[in-house]
Amino acid sequence: METISIKDNNFKVYEFEKPDFECELFTIKPNIIYGIWYDEKYDEWRNGQWGLNSGLSNDGAYSNLSPIKQKWYEDSNNFPALAVDKKTGAYYKVVCVEEGFIITDDGFRFKKEELILATKEERDSLYCER
């Protein structure tokens, strides 16, 4: 799959599937991507604005972008996180990802595909039990 991307001032990368229309993304201001896109219907370049996380355009559905969702462990803002071992159902507090492994607060290393992010309901129930 081909993609287009843009970095914010903190060097976080936002990726989108390459759309059916031509476009260039220039800058990000709070929650909005600014750029231009080519409108074939009117045979002209137009200024564009897209929602940073949604990819929705201010010009209508024909110029929307489709965001590529990051895996939960690829976004450092998600840490610490509560994750569940797919095989055992055990819960772990995840603190980071290093060298391709998910690292827990007690030093265990898991392959990325072995853990899933706990749901809000699971997190709430665990914290209410204590």
pLDDT(14) > 50: yes
Q: Please tell me the distance from the alpha carbon of residue 49 to that of residue 65, in angstroms, as a whole number.
A: 10
CATH 2.30.30.370 maps onto the chain at 72-129
pLDDT of residue 4: 92
Cβ atoms 24, 8 nearer than 8 A: no
Three-state DSSP class for residue 46? strand
CATH architecture of the region 72-129: Roll (2.30)
Alpha carbons 79 and 48: distance in angstroms, whole number: 33
**Cα distance from N-terminal residue to C-terminal residue, the chain:** 45
List, for residues 66-109, the tens digit of each pLDDT value: 998 877 788 777 788 899 999 999 999 999 988 889 999 999 99
CA atoms of 28 and 38, how far apart (whole Å): 19
Instruction: Name the least confident of 41-45, 91-95, 124-128.
Output: 124-128
What was the pLDDT predicted at 127? 62
> What pLDDT, on a 0 to 100 scale, did the predictor assign at position 130?
44
pLDDT at 49 > cutoff 90: yes
User: What contacts 95, CB < 8 A, 6 or more positions away?
Assistant: 79, 80, 103, 104, 105
Q: How far is CA 35 from the centre of its chain?
A: 20
